[in-house]
Structure 1
């Protein structure tokens, strides 16, 4: 690129037609710079988001309403899992990256560090509602009426306290549910659980395995009451085929439908009421709307939207989408359309907090 002094020297050293050609070249270069700068600041005319397969149906429903009322393009949503969505979200601050990450778990400290490193510094979290993680079985199976998280840990863990000598850990010996508890069915243990790409994986590890493990006194003794050692011992799934991680919910649903012994762990909105699957009570509580709303049912997850403040000014419709997302029409107790597709609504103070987060975001 020519500096101003260089341009003056070029014009002084030439005359006539040569000067006209030089001026044309300089003008073309200047126009190219203006056009390039303008393109960099150009608004993207659609909203981009990526993340949780559980949250995606809710984000899509809001997008359809938003598009109908605003006559703007509906958002483009990549349902690739909470972890993968946050990775894309944190990859940079430009409009070639998602405006929103959707997740069923909090953003991790390491993910925030990645965001900061890549220039994504102003992020707001909006929680719009709650949904349950459920353990399901086929309606045709031998009924498992209730499981505790201790039962589930003993069925899922790689190593467990020796049933004959609880002073040591051994490779998981349990083959049937009856082996774990004589009141449970004499059926083979087969559990389909979400892979790490899904936010629900964190629910399985932390709210089922770790919580169930902590109910076993011997585990505290075996790990010397050291929290880090306990977590490491409690959160390793078995690898002998009784515990299978899946990437695709549809495939897992088919496996559970076809196998009367299989159980599946998934978000409640991942299967329809006519899928032939029956949720199991956990720790004595059914995943009903009241038990989820009051956090009595133990396996609940929030529907989270992480938004880049910097994108509000250069992505068409982003503010309008967020307003629709947190409206009473969408998330209200009595008439919110998201409750019709499986979301459990928040209390009014929490819904107002979501709206306040959007107001704070759009005020800057």
Structure 2
């Protein structure tokens, strides 16, 4: 964006020559401003991206390596959530819009429609790795060794089958974990989950609530075997203060740390190992690197980069950044520096596919 001073000038006389010089100066300045503004609309000397708070640390780490080797400015990254980032990304194709959207979920059809409407037509998706979404509790709490997604649905949903008469839906009556399963601790249910601005919110809704709901046979009958009604009922969280959504991960971590009975749902890289939070096994599987890599652990997120093809020729360093992003040094097994900060690497075939996507981008 062009910035100008707000100065006022006083001239000593109003002779014709002076007035001509003034008019010439004003015209020259105006032409210069038009030219530079036009350049600013098509060129930028830094990479701009926006989106997922989960992906942002990985994008930043790549940016630091890229800046060190290229001696260019590191990317400017707005960590505002997958949905908010994609909204900015799809707002247009000019230099004032992000070159890359980072997300932990696929772009939605409605978002693609918005992109198309606003002239963002050639978008390439690059998947660099995976990370787990985990359910955590403070180490000082009464430990729940294992939860199923069915358990979590019964704890989180607005309406559930009546435990006394499964032929009808009722407002969620469960107050303690022991109410759901007699083997669980007799502790109050309190769950902190990411708000809709975060891509992890989609994991909560679809991979936890919907998947857990579908494990209850009565739910299909209760929703008239209508898929749309089933989804709508299964994905409606309760509103009685048991299930709460957060915008800021740091605040949520503090809430879980301060309440030994509370559970938090978040991406695994959002808290440090010394935070005193313990992940709970889901459906019998711990969120270990092997279980995530082999898609055995059920709650995983892909680290996605959506790139505007039109910006490759106008944004300095964008091609080089993408090459670094998909290099073996970054995303390779064992020695990749992104695995050191929590990313689970993809199989070699998928890593090659990411590099092929970048090669295809830069070849045109």
Regarding TM over 0.5, the answer is yes
Q: Determine helix, strand or coil for the equivalent of 1:7.
A: coil
The 1:34–1:255 alpha-carbon spacing in structure 2 relative to 1, beyond 3 Å, is closer
Matches of 1:236 and 1:316, distance apart in 2 = 45
**1:290-333 Cα shifts (integer Å, max 9, x gaps):** 00000000000100000000000110000000000000000000
Cα deviation, 1:159-185, whole Å, max 9, x if unaligned, reads: 000000111100000000010011111
Confirm or deny: 8 A CA contact 2:2 2:37 kept in the other structure.
no
- Runs of 5+ consecutive residues of structure 1 not aligned to the other structure: none
Which residue does 1:208 correspond to in 2? 208
Max Rg structure: 1
Whether the 8 Å CA contact 2:41–2:94 is kept in 1: the answer is: no
* Whole-Å separation in 1 of the counterparts to 2:3 and 2:73: 43
**Cα distance 1:19–1:264, how it changes in 2: closer, same or farther (>3 A)?**
closer
Q: TM-score, normalised by structure 1?
A: 0.92
- Secondary structure, in 3 states, of the residue corresponding to 1:274? helix
Distance 1:5 1:112, change over 3 A: closer
What's the secondary structure of 1:113's corresponding residue?
helix
Aligned partners of 1:11 and 1:22 also within 8 Å? no
- Give 1:40 deviation, angstroms: 4.6
Shift in CA distance, 177/74, structure 1 to aligned 2, threshold 3 Å: same
- Kindly state the Cα deviation for residue 254 of structure 1 after the two structures are TM-superposed: 0.3
Shift of 1:334: 2.2
Q: Is the Cα–Cα contact under 8 Å of residues 10 and 22 in structure 1 kept in the other structure?
A: no
Q: Deviations over 1:224-270 (max 9, x none)?
A: 11100000110000011110000000000000001010000000000
SS at 2:101 equivalent: strand
Partner of 1:58: 58
> Structure 1 CA distance, aligned partners of 2:153 and 2:178?
14
Does the residue aligned with 1:350 lie in a helix, a strand or coil? helix
Structure 2 distance, partners of 1:2, 1:181, is 62
Whether the 8 Å contact between 2:42 and 2:94 is mirrored in structure 1 is: no
CA spacing shift, 1:110–1:15, aligned 2, 3 Å = same
Over 3 Å counting, the alpha-carbon distance change for 1:363 and 1:10 in structure 2 is farther
Matched pairs, number: 364
SS in 2 for 1:305: strand
Distance 1:3 1:305 in 2: 31
RMSD: 5.4
Would the alpha carbon gap of residues 148 and 39 (structure 1) be closer, same or farther in structure 2, given more than 3 Å must change? Answer: same
Change (3 A) 1:35 1:248: same
Give 3-state SS (helix, strand or coil) of 2:169's partner: strand
8 Å Cα contact 1:11/1:19 also seen in 2: no
1:39 CA displacement: 1.9
Decide whether aligned partners of structure 1 residues 143 and 14 sit closer, same or farther in structure 2, where only a CA change above 3 A counts.
closer
Task: Give the direction of change, closer, same or farther, for the CA distance of 1:142–1:7 in structure 2 (3 Å limit).
Answer: closer
Give the Cα–Cα distance (whole angstroms) in 2 for the partners of residues 5 and 136 of structure 1: 52
1:50-107 Cα distance to aligned partner (Å, 9 max, x none)? 0000000000000000000000000000000000000000000001000000000000
Q: 1:223 to 1:45 in 2, by over 3 A?
A: same
Query: How far off its partner does 1:43 sit?
Result: 2.1
Q: Assess, with a 3 A threshold, how the Cα gap between structure 1 residues 90 and 15 changes in structure 2: closer, same or farther.
A: same
Q: Give 1:6 shift.
A: 34
Which runs of structure 1 show a deviation greater than 3 angstroms over 4 or more consecutive aligned residues? 1-34
Q: Comparing 30-39 with 285-294, which one deviates more in the overlay?
A: 30-39
SS in 2 for 1:110: helix
Instruction: Tell me: CA distance 1:14–1:325, structure 2 relative to 1, closer, same or farther (3 Å).
Output: same
Where do 5+ consecutive residues of structure 2 fail to align? none
The SS at the match of 1:345 is: coil
Distance, in Å, in 2 between the alignment partners of 1:3 and 1:276 is 47
- TM-score, structure 2 length as denominator? 0.92
Change (3 A) 1:110 1:259: same
Question: Tell me, what secondary structure is at the counterpart of 1:94?
Answer: coil
1:42–1:314: 8 Å Cα contact kept in structure 2?
yes
* Contact map agreement 1:41 1:314 (CA 8 A) in 2: no
CA distance in 2, matches of 1:9, 1:216: 77
For 1:265, what is the secondary structure of its paired residue?
strand
Contact 1:47 1:76 in 2 (8 A): yes
